[in-house]
Structure 1
Amino acid sequence: MKDRLIYILLTFASVIAYGQVNLSLDADKTEYAGKDIVNLTIVLELNGSDLVQQTGFQLPDLSKFNIIGSGSVTNTVIDPATNTLITQKVSRIALEPKKKGKIKIGSVLVTVNNKIYKTEPFDVNIREIIEKRSLAANNSNEVYLNMEIEDREIYQDQPTIAILKVYSRNMDNLRKVKNIRLPQQNNINVHPINFNKSEIDPSGYGNMPSQILAMFMIFPNEAGYVEVPAVSASVNSYSNKNKISSNKIKLNVKRLPEGAPDCFKNAVGNFTVSVYHAAKEKAEAKKPLNVVVKVSGEGNLPDMELPKIAASPDYEVFAPKITTKVSPGTSGMKGEILANYVVIPKKSGTISIKTEQFAFFDPESREYVDLGQKVLALDALSHDQVLEARTTVEKVNEYTNNLLETVNTPVLKTTSLKVKEKSKFHWNILLVNIAILLGLFVVYLLFRTWQKKRALVRETVPSKPLGSVAETEKEIRELMKTDINDYFGYLENLKDHSEYEKFFATLEDLDQEVRNQYFKGSVAEFKTFLEKHKGSALAEEYGMLQQKVQIEKYSPVKSQEGLEELLKTIVNLYSQISK
C-alpha cells in the first residue's frame, strides 16, 4: 500500500514539473522622480511542449502614463537533464508618468491551455516634479517657480488646468514674487483663472515653504506632443530685480476622433446656439434691424469659430459686433458670446434668417453633436403696411413730436416740448420739504448758541504759554505712553494656556503701541529711529527679534521652550526701548 502511494505522488510531481506556467510583472524600482521613465518587465515561462499560449499579454489600465516605447523577445531551449522544452517570452514597456503621487499598476493577463494566468498588482511612487533654477548664490535665498499640470493627455482644443507655485527656503522671498507672465505660443491658447495668492504652506517640497501664485487654463490647438513654455516672474528686492522662470511641460494632445461632420470647425465642449431679433419694433423692408446669434455653454468658447448668418438673396448682412461674457468653469471657459448682426431685408413678406450649420465635439461622451441650422422667421412689412399697423394715438403722437422737433419759433424753442402725461400736485412732498427746512433752522439756532457759550469760556480761561517743539513732543509721548507690563503679563498667560494665535496677535499690538509712542508707522522706520537715538546694537537686536517672531509664528510645531525664550527676549528688549 505504501509503495502505491509513493508511486502516485511521484507521478503527480512529474506531471506538475512537466507542465508549469510562470508569469511575472516587475518594475525596475518602486520610487521615481518626476521625469524618470518607468520600465516594466513582463516574463512568461512555459515548461512543457504541450503548453500553448492562446492570447497575447493583456495589459492593465495605463492611462496615467504615456507609453513611449515597447519591445519583446522569445527564447526557446531544451533542458538536457529533464528533456523538457522551455519557452520564455520577455516584454519591456517604457512609460512616462503624467501625474505625481502613488499610482497602482494592475495585473497582466494571459491565457494558456484555456486557463487564465495573471500577475499581482503593485504600486509605484512618482515624486513631485520641480525644476530648480537658482536665483542667487546664497542657498538661503533661492526661489523656484514650478508649473504643475495634472492632466497631460487631452484632446485638441480641450482645456487642462495649470497651477503655478513658488518655493523658497526664505519665507520672505515668497512675498517678493511679482509680474507673472503666462506662456504665449502659437499652438496653445492660455486663459487665466485667477492670480490670487494662497496661504503659505510651510511644509512644501523638501520642507521648503511654498505658495500658489496663479491658476490658468491651457487650450492646445494642434495634436501631437505640445510643449508648454515656461512661466516667468520677477523677484523684487531693495537692491535689485531678478527674473526667474518655471519648468516646461510636455502635453500629449490626442487627435479628435474620425467621423466629424462637415460643419465642424474647432468647437470642443458643450454648447447651444440661438438666434433672435434684438429690438421690439416690427421688421421693415429695406431698413436695418438687429439680429443676434448667441452661443452659450462651456469649453473653448473664446477661441472657437462662431456660426455666422448664412448669405441669402432675401436680405443683406454685415459684419457683426462680438460681445463676450465668459468666466472660468470646471471643464473650460463658460458663459456666452453674442454676435450682433445688422440685417437689411430686401423685400417685404416672410423671410427666414438662417445661421450656418454648427457642430461641436463633446469630450465627456467622445461624440460629435450636430446642432444644424438655426432659423429666425420674420415678417418684413412694407412702409405702407407699417403706417397702417399704427393706432390713431401713435400716429398723432408721432406727428406732434416730429413737428416740435423740426420747427422752431423766435419766441419759443419748441424742440424741448413733448407730449407728456398731466401730473397732479403731491401734498406729501410739500409737507416733507417744510419739515426739513424747520429742522435745519433749529440746528442753526443750536449751533449759534453753542458758539456764544464757547466764546465766553475762552475769555475766562487764561491762555497757557506755549513751550518748545521738543517739550510738546515729550508731553504727547508721555500721554500716549502705554504700560507695557500689562502686555507682558497677558503674553505670559497666553503662553501658559497655549493660545498661540492670540499670543502673536497681542505681540503685534504691543509692537504697534511702542512704535506709536515714537510716531513711527512701519518696522523699518522704527528700526532706523532706534539706530539713530538708541544705538545700533539695540536696533540690530530689534531686527533679530522680528525675524524670530516670524519663524515661531509660521512654525508648524510650536514648543513651550521656544516661546519661553522668545518671551524673555521680548520683555528685555521692549523694557529697554520704553525707558
Structure 2
Amino acid sequence: MQYKLIYIFLTLASVISYGQVNLSMDADKSEYGGKDIVNLTIVLELNGSDLEQQTKFQLPDLSKFNIIGSGSFTNTFIDPATNTQIIQKISRIALEPKKKGKIKIGSVLVTVNNKIYKTEPFDVSVRDVIEKKSLAGNTSNEIYLNMEIEDKEVYQDQPTIAVLKVYSRNMDNLRKVKNIRLPQQDNINVHAINFNKSEIDPSGYGNMASQVLAMFMVFPNEAGYVEVPSVSASVSSYSNKSKIVSNKIKLNVKKLPEGAPNCFKNAVGNFKVSVYSPAKENAETQKPLNVIVKVSGEGNLPDMELPKIASSPDYEVFAPKITSRVSPGTTGMKGEILANYVVIPKKTGVISIKTEKFAFFNPEKSEYTDLGQKMLSVDALSHEDAMESRSTVEKVNEYTNNLLETVNTPVLKTTSFKVKEKSKFHWNILLINIAILLALFVAYLIFKTWQKKRTLVRETVPSKSLGSVAETEKELRKMLKTDIDDYFSYLENLKDNGEYEKFFATLEEMDQDVRNEYSQGSTTEFKAFLDRYKGSSVAEEYGTLQQKIQIEKYAPVKSSEGLDELLKAIVNLYSQISK
C-alpha cells in the first residue's frame, strides 16, 4: 500500500512539472521621481508542448498613467534535463505617471488551456508629478490645441505622423486659429505634410467641435525617450490676439539594430543611387565636366547624409550644388535629391569617377542594404584630340564664341549700312500711293454724309416730356426693380445640388438687391421701412426669417427638409415685399 501511494505521488508530480504555467509582473523599482518612467515587465512561462495560450494579456486599469511605449518577444527552448519544451513570452510596457502618491497596479489576466491565471497586484510610489491635461491651451478662451501621434514607437530616423487638431465649444473660434508654428528641436527633424483644414467635427473631445489644422512628419535622430515639443498657434479676433500651445508627446525611439555596414551613416528608408553626366560633348582634360549623383527613394531623404564623389588623383572634384525635389509620402519623404559636382579630369584616357559606398536601413524589413559604390566611366581627351573629333560647324562655333568672349570688337562703320541711291524711277509705287489717297478721300466723304443724315433725323424726333418728380421716381424704381423670380429658381437649383455655401451667398445678394431697390442700406433700416409701408406683420416676419437664415447657415449639419422650409418662407416673404 505504501509503494502505491509513493507511485501515485510521483506520477502527479511529473504531471504537474510537465504542464506548469508561471505568470508574473514586476516593475523595475518601487519608487519613482517626477520625470521617471515606470517600466513593467510581464513574463508568461509555459512548461510543456500541450499548453496553449488562448487569450492575450489582459492589462489592469492603467488610467493613472500615459502609455508611452510597449514591446514583446517570445523565446522557445528545450530543457535538456527533462526534455520539456519551454515557451517564454515577455512583454514590456513604459508608463508615464499622471499623479503623485501611491498608485496600485492591478493584476494581469491570461487564459491557458481554459484556465485563467493572474498576477499579484502591487503598489508603486510616485513623487512630484506635474499634472498634465490631454488638451493644452488657454482655458479662458475655451479653445485648445491637441497633437496626436498614433505610432509612438519608431526606429531612429524613422518618421512618425503627427496630427494637430483644434477644439472649441464655439465653432466660430475654429476660424480664428492662424500662424501655426511646428516644433523645432535638435533631436528631431520636422517636415510638414499639409496645412489643409478638414471639415468641422461637431462631436469631438468632451462634446466640443474639432477640426484638423495640420499634419507633419517627425523624424527623431537619437535613440531613447524623445519628447516632441508643443505646437503653437495664434488666435486672432477683432479685439485681441492671443497664443495657444498644444500638448507634448514622448516617443520611444528604438536604437537601430547591430551589424550596420561601415558605410552606413543615417539613411533610413528605401533608396537608390545613380551617377551620370548630363554633358553631350566629349570630356576634355583640364576642362570642367558636370557629374550628377542622384539619390531617390522614400525615407529621411532631406536629412540624411548623401554619398559624395570619392577623391582620386585622376580628377579634381569641387563642392556640389544640391537640388531637392521631395514631397510627403506614406513612409517618409519621397522624391530625389541631385548633387551636381564639377569634375576636372587631370589625365587622358578612361577615368572612373566613383562615389563613396552607401548603405541604408530598411525599417519595413528590419535589415541593412549595402549599395556599394556607383561608377561613371569617362573617356577624357586632350585638347588637340577633342578639336579633331569635332565637326567643322562645331569648330566654327567654338572659334566665334571665343572671339566674342575674349576680343574687344571695334566700332562698326555706319557707311556700310547706307542705302545706295537708285537712278531708276518706279511708276508702280507712285500709282499705288495715289490710289490709297483717293480711297481715303472717298471714305471721308461717305462718313460726313452719314453724319449729316443722322443729325437731321435726331432733330425731327420730338422731345419727350420729363414729367413730374413722382413719375420720374416711379420710372427709376421700375428700372431698378429686382427680378426676384430668377433668384428663386436659382436658389432652388443650388439647394437641389447641395451647394449650400453658394446658396447662402446668393441669398445675401438677393436681400442686398431688394434693399437697394428701396434705398435701404442695412437690415435694421429695411425692417423699419417695412414696418412703415408694408405693416408690422411683414416687418416681424422679415426679422424672424433673417434669424432662421443665420441658424441654417452656421448649422454644422444641413438637412434638405430644413432648407426646403427655409426656401418656402423666403419665396413667400420676398414675393410680398416685391409687389
For the criterion TM > 0.5, the same-fold answer is: yes
Q: Give the 3 Å change call, closer, same or farther, for CA 567–404 of structure 1 in structure 2.
A: closer
- Corresponding residue pairs, total: 466
Deviations 1:409-468 (A, max 9, x none): 632699xxxxxxxxxxxxxxxxxxxxxxxxxx9xx99x9799959777765656779999
Question: How far did 1:325 drift?
Answer: 0.8
1:513 has 2:515 as partner: no
Separation in structure 2 between the aligned mates of residue 362 and residue 456 of structure 1, nearest angstrom = 93
Identity %: 60
Deviations 1:383-431 (A, max 9, x none): 11112222344334544665677454632699xxxxxxxxxxxxxxxxx
1:350 has 2:353 as partner: no
Q: Which amino acid aligns with 2:221?
A: N
Separation in structure 2 between the aligned mates of residue 503 and residue 58 of structure 1, nearest angstrom = 54
Q: Give the 3 Å change call, closer, same or farther, for CA 282–25 of structure 1 in structure 2.
A: same
1:310 has 2:324 as partner: no
Equivalent residue for 1:548?
551
Separation in structure 1 between the aligned mates of residue 490 and residue 401 of structure 2, nearest angstrom = 79
Cα contact 1:545–1:570 (8 A) shared by 2: no
Cα contact 2:267–2:301 (8 A) shared by 1: yes
Equivalent residue for 1:187?
187
Cα contact 1:317–1:344 (8 A) shared by 2: yes
Separation in structure 2 between the aligned mates of residue 302 and residue 288 of structure 1, nearest angstrom = 28
Separation in structure 2 between the aligned mates of residue 372 and residue 413 of structure 1, nearest angstrom = 68
Q: Which amino acid aligns with 1:555?
A: V
Q: Superposition pairs for residues 245-260 of structure 1, below 5 Å?
A: 245-260=245-260
Q: Which amino acid aligns with 1:235?
A: V
Q: Give the 3 Å change call, closer, same or farther, for CA 190–450 of structure 1 in structure 2.
A: farther
Separation in structure 2 between the aligned mates of residue 309 and residue 396 of structure 1, nearest angstrom = 35
Q: Give the 3 Å change call, closer, same or farther, for CA 392–412 of structure 1 in structure 2.
A: farther
Q: Which amino acid aligns with 2:137?
A: R
Question: How far did 1:499 drift?
Answer: 5.7
Separation in structure 1 between the aligned mates of residue 43 and residue 259 of structure 2, nearest angstrom = 36
Deviations 1:95-126 (A, max 9, x none): 659xxxxxxxx98477xxxxx676599xxxxx
Cα contact 2:234–2:244 (8 A) shared by 1: yes
Separation in structure 2 between the aligned mates of residue 273 and residue 450 of structure 1, nearest angstrom = 82
1:243 has 2:243 as partner: yes
Equivalent residue for 2:161?
161
Question: How far did 1:482 drift?
Answer: 3.6
Q: Give the 3 Å change call, closer, same or farther, for CA 403–165 of structure 1 in structure 2.
A: closer
Equivalent residue for 2:137?
133
Q: Give the 3 Å change call, closer, same or farther, for CA 43–377 of structure 1 in structure 2.
A: closer
Cα contact 2:228–2:248 (8 A) shared by 1: yes
Cα contact 1:352–1:376 (8 A) shared by 2: yes
Equivalent residue for 1:100?
none
Cα contact 2:69–2:251 (8 A) shared by 1: no
Question: How far did 1:347 drift?
Answer: 2.0
Question: How far did 1:170 drift?
Answer: 1.8
Equivalent residue for 1:101?
none
Q: Give the 3 Å change call, closer, same or farther, for CA 94–157 of structure 1 in structure 2.
A: closer
Deviations 1:264-311 (A, max 9, x none): 111111111111122112111111111111111111111111111111
Question: How far did 1:559 drift?
Answer: 9.0
Equivalent residue for 1:411?
413
Q: Superposition pairs for residues 113-512 of structure 1, below 5 Å?
A: 130-134=134-138, 136=140, 142-399=142-399, 406=407, 407-408=409-410, 410-411=412-413, 478-482=478-482, 501=498, 506=503, 508-512=505-509
Q: Which runs of 5+ in 2 are unaligned?
A: 1-7, 26-36, 60-66, 73-89, 97-107, 119-132, 417-439, 532-538
What secondary structure sits across from 1:133 in the alignment? strand
Separation in structure 2 between the aligned mates of residue 368 and residue 231 of structure 1, nearest angstrom = 34
What secondary structure sits across from 1:339 in the alignment? strand
Separation in structure 1 between the aligned mates of residue 449 and residue 226 of structure 2, nearest angstrom = 79
Q: Which amino acid aligns with 2:394?
A: E
Separation in structure 2 between the aligned mates of residue 355 and residue 450 of structure 1, nearest angstrom = 87
Deviations 1:300-350 (A, max 9, x none): 111111111111122211111111111111111111111111111222222
Separation in structure 2 between the aligned mates of residue 451 and residue 182 of structure 1, nearest angstrom = 74
Cα contact 1:190–1:219 (8 A) shared by 2: yes
Cα contact 2:71–2:91 (8 A) shared by 1: no
Q: Give the 3 Å change call, closer, same or farther, for CA 449–155 of structure 1 in structure 2.
A: farther
What secondary structure sits across from 2:178 in the alignment? strand
| TM-score where L is the length of structure 1 | 0.65
Separation in structure 1 between the aligned mates of residue 41 and residue 326 of structure 2, nearest angstrom = 45
> RMSD between aligned alpha carbons?
5.3
Q: Give the 3 Å change call, closer, same or farther, for CA 204–456 of structure 1 in structure 2.
A: farther
| TM-score where L is the length of structure 2 | 0.65
Question: How far did 1:501 drift?
Answer: 3.7
Separation in structure 2 between the aligned mates of residue 202 and residue 464 of structure 1, nearest angstrom = 64
Question: How far did 1:61 drift?
Answer: 8.2
Separation in structure 1 between the aligned mates of residue 91 and residue 379 of structure 2, nearest angstrom = 71
Separation in structure 2 between the aligned mates of residue 38 and residue 460 of structure 1, nearest angstrom = 106
Separation in structure 1 between the aligned mates of residue 469 and residue 333 of structure 2, nearest angstrom = 63
Question: How far did 1:545 drift?
Answer: 3.8
What secondary structure sits across from 2:140 in the alignment? coil
Separation in structure 2 between the aligned mates of residue 186 and residue 205 of structure 1, nearest angstrom = 32
Q: Which runs of 5+ in 1 are unaligned?
A: 1-10, 27-35, 70-90, 98-105, 111-115, 122-128, 415-440
Q: Which amino acid aligns with 1:512?
A: E
Q: Which amino acid aligns with 2:208?
A: M
Deviations 1:514-552 (A, max 9, x none): 2133459xxxx84576589789x9898676444312344
Q: Give the 3 Å change call, closer, same or farther, for CA 565–411 of structure 1 in structure 2.
A: closer
Q: Which piece of structure 1 moves more, 152-161 or 448-457?
A: 448-457
Cα contact 1:285–1:347 (8 A) shared by 2: yes
Separation in structure 1 between the aligned mates of residue 169 and residue 370 of structure 2, nearest angstrom = 54
Q: Which amino acid aligns with 2:288?
A: P
Q: Give the 3 Å change call, closer, same or farther, for CA 527–60 of structure 1 in structure 2.
A: same
Q: Superposition pairs for residues 78-93 of structure 1, below 5 Å?
A: none
Separation in structure 1 between the aligned mates of residue 241 and residue 247 of structure 2, nearest angstrom = 20
Q: Which amino acid aligns with 1:249?
A: I
Q: Give the 3 Å change call, closer, same or farther, for CA 179–399 of structure 1 in structure 2.
A: closer
Q: Which amino acid aligns with 2:557?
A: S
Deviations 1:457-505 (A, max 9, x none): 76565677999999989865543434658878998x999xx96947886
